[in-house]
Amino acid sequence: MLKNAFVWFLLVFVSPIHAVETFLAKDGRAFMEVTYAGEALKTAATELAGMLTRITGAEFVCKASESESGIHLALQKEAVTLTGREGYHLESFGDRIEITGATPQAVEHAVWDLLHRVGFRQFLPGKTWEVVPSKPSLSVDVKVTTSPDYHSRRIWAGFGYLKEREAVVEEWNRRNRATSGITLNTGHAYDHIMDRHAKVFEQHPEYLAMVDGKRQKPKFCTSNAELRKLVVEDALAQFAAQPDLDSVSCDPSDGGGWCECAECAKIGSVTDRALLLANDVAASVDKAHPGRMVGMYAYNEHSPPPSIEAHPQVVISVATGFIRGGYTIDQLLDGWSAKARTLGIREYYSVNAWDRDLPGAARGGNIDYLRTTIPHFHARGARFMSAEASDNAGPNGLGCYLAARMFWDVDEAKKIDALVTDFLESSFGAASGPMRKFYEMLDGSKKPSLSDDLLGRMWRRLQEARGLTKDKAILARLDDLALYTHYCGLYLDYSSASGKERQAAFEAMFRFLWRIRDTGMVHVKALWRDVPNRDKGVTLPPGAKYNDPEAANPWKTGVALKPEEIAKLVDEGVEKRKLLDFEPVAFSMKLVPATKLKLTEVPRGNAGIYLRGVRDFWTWVDAAPATISLTGTAGVIYPNRGPAKMELYPLAEAELKSVAHLEIDPDKKPHELKMGTKFPGLHRIEVTDSTQGTSITWQDGMPMTIVSSMEQPAKLFGRWHLYFYVPKGTKMVGGYSDGEGLMLDPEGKTVHTFSAKPGYFSMKVPKGMDGQLWSFKHTSGQRQLMTVPPCLARDASELLLPEEVVVKETQQ
């Protein structure tokens, strides 16, 4: 009985409560006017009326009025709190629609929410990606009160925007509710405080940090109470000068130089010192201006979590990159959320130097990453989001659109598949089938590798899509993506060439970039400024720098490409970029020693000089308990990123938990490493080193295999030489390569020479050469094996292979 009552309760209170269906227009005739109460709402009202006119073909009158008739925009009567600025209420009553917001900004959000509900979309910035449905009869049925899950939702471009792009990006932000109600100041602050009070610091050198016995900038002597008072007064003065200020920053200056005096040491860690000062500021600010905030990063030396509580008005922004001390992002979030009420996230959706706008290369193009992290961070107390991105709608536009939806409402993460389908169907109509496949190739969670094969498939999907529609708006979107795909090809040609060819490809790419700059498909400004700075293999001619004006710039020439030129690029792309000529073969990861195969002995290879980031090694324990002994050297490139960490995962451990944990000091010296296990069989050793560079070595003949497949690519550094097994009956060795080197057959003869150009390779296996070890020698970069077991080892005795291969061949 009780159970039934509970079900009844759920049905009544969880089923959607419908408002009244309200007709805005019928057969191209408007049923109501748009009215607004107060001049501050005029712009939003005018935009709403204009957009409804475009959707219905009916004339929507827009006028100032206090009376609640028609579609009425008004401000809420209640007082507005700092975090309540963006809340709004939308409701249809049959003969009228009410739009009430806390602020004009909130009303604007409500307007774009209403338009979204009737089918309007601004997927990517600019006219081409605006979807205005044609609905001469239009009705809505809405009742919603909402406010954003993240108080600030900033997606901004590193290197900034081209002048031509600023307005469309700003429009995209507004139309996707990706503007912020609160301005969280959180940039480096100490230097500015020193500058504002230069005289005081001259008179009081003791306010500055003591480093090597000398008082000096750019850090404070935080233990000095007078110094802290000065910083507090400086913050109060900022609020006095700008009464509308939402927050001040108390983030330390960049770099190190923390005070070495005895009193500062007593406060505790660098983080505790920075937080102590921020807390002092927040306490006084909160008293004088309740609700206002103090921003600070968890970054660099002050990224580790504190031991003291943060004042409730201190907002800690955790950076998801450049983390010190060997912490993972989750450890930082957990540590900080235990001590601070509100967190911010400093994200990296795209950084041009890392991703160069290539398919799936950045977090902004990784749909799984976005759908997982945005709700996850929010659940740990994150309420501010500042995401560095690029103006690169080609690879990351869809991701940024989805992110904006989730920033407002993290529950949208559960509807990502439907949102992607909506994007594809609204943007591409009849061509959405091939375009879904196209977008799967841009998705970072599927790890696309830039190659002729990938480009070939992108071009083929575009060609197919163009044949399925005559709709001009859709064709314009396909044109944009063709320009993006052509850029990717030019980038591949440039990055894989050397000498004169590299310079020529570089020039071709830049001349093309200039002609497509208005599309925002790639971040022309960032590429132009950054690529020549980092590539010593190419030069810009005089007057061709990014800042050199167009009139005299030899590479800033030519106009936007015409549709017929773009059509030609598509056909040429299909012709030029050939597809793979082999079928990938799947293998299990149930690895066992290859010793049963009694393979011929070979000269021992080597696994390169070190690893960076995360690397798995696979080993085998014959009899447990056992101790796995290795030698490790950490800090090879960067000695300041904390220890490298090792975990040992026996595959037989039911919960897939690590049974041994080790840390290697980053002192560039070899350390003996011993890890115990009670489990026999396959073990995975995971090394994580914050990309500091770590070398791991082991005794000759110990089972030790590195897996390198498309799903788990292994990046090895330094020239390496490793063997792989070609099972009996294999006709073709196929895979992916991105660096120079040789492929040797079982007799040690060179059968293929790799160039630096990334791409797929395939080699026929001659008769009698199967069932033996082949190898990659003098190799740099990656080799991902796709038709043979993706297992690399220094010789036969160390090799592990998929169980099914070993079982099959020992039975034969």
Candidate residues 49, 106, 114, 259; the one interacting with Zn ion per rule CB under 5 A: 259
CA distance 583 to 730: 11
State the minimum distance, in angstroms, from the CB of residue 191 to Zn ion: 18
CA distance 796 to 452: 34
Residue 805, classed as helix, strand or coil, is helix
Count of chain residues binding Zn ion (CB under 5 A) = 5
Q: How far is CA 283 from CA 83, 187, 238, 280, 780, in A?
A: 19, 20, 15, 5, 56
Cα 543 to the center of its chain, rounded Å: 34
State the minimum distance, in angstroms, from the CB of residue 266 to Zn ion: 9
Q: Which is nearer to Zn ion, 252 or 735 (CB)?
A: 252
Q: Which stretch binds Zn ion (CB under 5 A): 258-266, 271-279, 320-328, 522-530?
A: 258-266
User: Which ranges in 388-449 belong to alpha helices (H)?
Assistant: 393-408, 416-428, 432-442
Q: Is the dihedral of CA 423, 427, 429, 430 positive or negative?
A: negative
Q: In 283-361, which ranges are E strands?
A: 293-298, 314-319, 342-348
State both tokens at 596.
Answer: 């049963």
State the minimum distance, in angstroms, from the CB of residue 214 to Zn ion: 12
Q: Which is nearer to Zn ion, 223 or 445 (CB)?
A: 223
Q: How far is CA 806 from CA 602, 740, 802, in A?
A: 19, 31, 7
Cα 585 to the center of its chain, rounded Å: 30
CA distance 525 to 390: 10
Q: Which stretch binds Zn ion (CB under 5 A): 24-32, 253-261, 574-582, 662-670?
A: 253-261
Q: Which is nearer to Zn ion, 265 or 288 (CB)?
A: 265
Q: Which is nearer to Zn ion, 221 or 478 (CB)?
A: 221
State the minimum distance, in angstroms, from the CB of residue 265 to Zn ion: 8
Residues 215-244 interacting with Zn ion (rule: CB under 5 A): 221, 223
Candidate residues 200, 211, 245, 261; the one interacting with Zn ion per rule CB under 5 A: 261
Binding mask 172-211 for Zn ion (x = CB under 5 A): ----------------------------------------
Q: Which is nearer to Zn ion, 221 or 570 (CB)?
A: 221
State the minimum distance, in angstroms, from the CB of residue 277 to Zn ion: 12
State the minimum distance, in angstroms, from the CB of residue 210 to Zn ion: 6
State the minimum distance, in angstroms, from the CB of residue 211 to Zn ion: 10
CA distance 112 to 109: 5
Q: Which stretch binds Zn ion (CB under 5 A): 255-263, 329-337, 579-587, 756-764?
A: 255-263
Q: Which is nearer to Zn ion, 174 or 197 (CB)?
A: 197
* Region for residue 720 given its phi and psi (left: phi exceeds 0; alpha: psi -120 to 50; beta: otherwise): beta
Q: How far is CA 386 from CA 271, 293, 427, in A?
A: 21, 16, 28
CA distance 735 to 779: 14
Q: Which is nearer to Zn ion, 223 or 595 (CB)?
A: 223
State the minimum distance, in angstroms, from the CB of residue 207 to Zn ion: 9
Residue 158, classed as helix, strand or coil, is coil
> What does 558-581 look like in DSSP terms, one character per residue?
--PPPHHHHHHHHHHHHHHSPPP-
Q: Which is nearer to Zn ion, 270 or 458 (CB)?
A: 270
> What does 214-259 look like in DSSP terms, one character per residue?
EEEEEEE-TT-HHHHHHHHHHHHHHHHH-TT--EEE-BPPSS----
CB 146 within 8 A of CB 87: yes
State the minimum distance, in angstroms, from the CB of residue 208 to Zn ion: 9
State the minimum distance, in angstroms, from the CB of residue 508 to Zn ion: 57
* Residue of 338, 576, 542 lying closest to 455 (CA atoms): 576
State the minimum distance, in angstroms, from the CB of residue 195 to Zn ion: 20
CB 408 within 8 A of CB 152: no
Beta bridge partners of 254: none
Q: Which residue has the tokens 């130089």?
A: 257
Q: Which is nearer to Zn ion, 141 or 206 (CB)?
A: 206
Neighbours of 742 (CB within 10 A): 16
Residues 427-486 interacting with Zn ion (rule: CB under 5 A): none
Cα 600 to the center of its chain, rounded Å: 46
Q: Which is nearer to Zn ion, 170 or 263 (CB)?
A: 263
Q: Which is nearer to Zn ion, 259 or 403 (CB)?
A: 259
State the minimum distance, in angstroms, from the CB of residue 663 to Zn ion: 30
Q: Which is nearer to Zn ion, 223 or 755 (CB)?
A: 223
* Residue of 648, 611, 607 lying closest to 628 (CA atoms): 648
Q: Which is nearer to Zn ion, 179 or 223 (CB)?
A: 223
State the minimum distance, in angstroms, from the CB of residue 227 to Zn ion: 9
Q: Give the sheet arrangement for strand 247-249, strand by strand.
A: 152-157, 382-389, 342-348, 314-319, 293-298, 247-249
Residue 208, classed as helix, strand or coil, is strand
State the minimum distance, in angstroms, from the CB of residue 235 to Zn ion: 20
CB 30 within 8 A of CB 24: yes
Q: Which is nearer to Zn ion, 259 or 319 (CB)?
A: 259
Residues 552-611 interacting with Zn ion (rule: CB under 5 A): none
Residues 30-69 interacting with Zn ion (rule: CB under 5 A): none
Candidate residues 157, 264, 296, 458; the one interacting with Zn ion per rule CB under 5 A: 264
* Region for residue 779 given its phi and psi (left: phi exceeds 0; alpha: psi -120 to 50; beta: otherwise): beta
State the minimum distance, in angstroms, from the CB of residue 206 to Zn ion: 9
Q: Which is nearer to Zn ion, 223 or 300 (CB)?
A: 223
Q: Which is nearer to Zn ion, 223 or 658 (CB)?
A: 223
State the minimum distance, in angstroms, from the CB of residue 259 to Zn ion: 3
Task: Give contact residues for Zn ion (rule: CB under 5 A).
Answer: 221, 223, 259, 261, 264
